[in-house]
Amino acid sequence: LRSLRSPEFCSIPVTWRRAQIEDIPAIRGLWRRAGYGFPFPDLLSEKIISSWIAEEEGQIVCWMGAHLVPEITTIMDPSYGSPHRRGMVFSGLEKRVASQVFEKYPRAFCTLDPRYPKFARRMLKSGLGWFRWWETLWITKEAFGENPHKPNL
């Protein structure tokens, strides 16, 4: 395991290293103290593709990881039928896509375009199973590659 301590990663004196199995209780403690609204991730899952911690003076202060989690994407003709009809079409497809996703994954996300706030409200009220609405940020490989502040690992 390689520990990294460098101003190019962070301007405060923390040590960065890959998470280990024995770190899980401390990471779970961070999660509990923060009171996050999402379930504690299965850190031993093969769906975790990156898992790092930051330590200061031997204490874990942050965990960050990446999961393979499907994102449900919808592209619909905005002039098709009424909003109710579009919702019915969405509902029918959502059930089919979700059942296929849940054969392999415990959850999925749907990022909603802020230009369609009524659709988002309808989804949340629809009873289809969407239960939280958090803002989602995303980045592309190309944008990350062009970022002058990214660390050299």
Report the distance separating Cα 62 and Cα 40, nearest Å: 14
pLDDT band of 131, cuts 50, 70, 90: low
Q: In this predicted structure, what is the pLDDT of residue 5?
A: 47
Q: What is the residue whose two structure tokens read 């401390």? A: 26
Instruction: Look at the pTM and tell me if it is higher than 0.75.
Output: no
CB 143 within 8 A of CB 137: no
Residue pLDDT, tens place only, 36-74? 888 899 999 998 999 999 999 999 999 999 988 888 888
Lookup: tokens for 42:
């299965």
Angle of the 83-101 helix axis to the 117-125 helix axis, nearest 10? 60
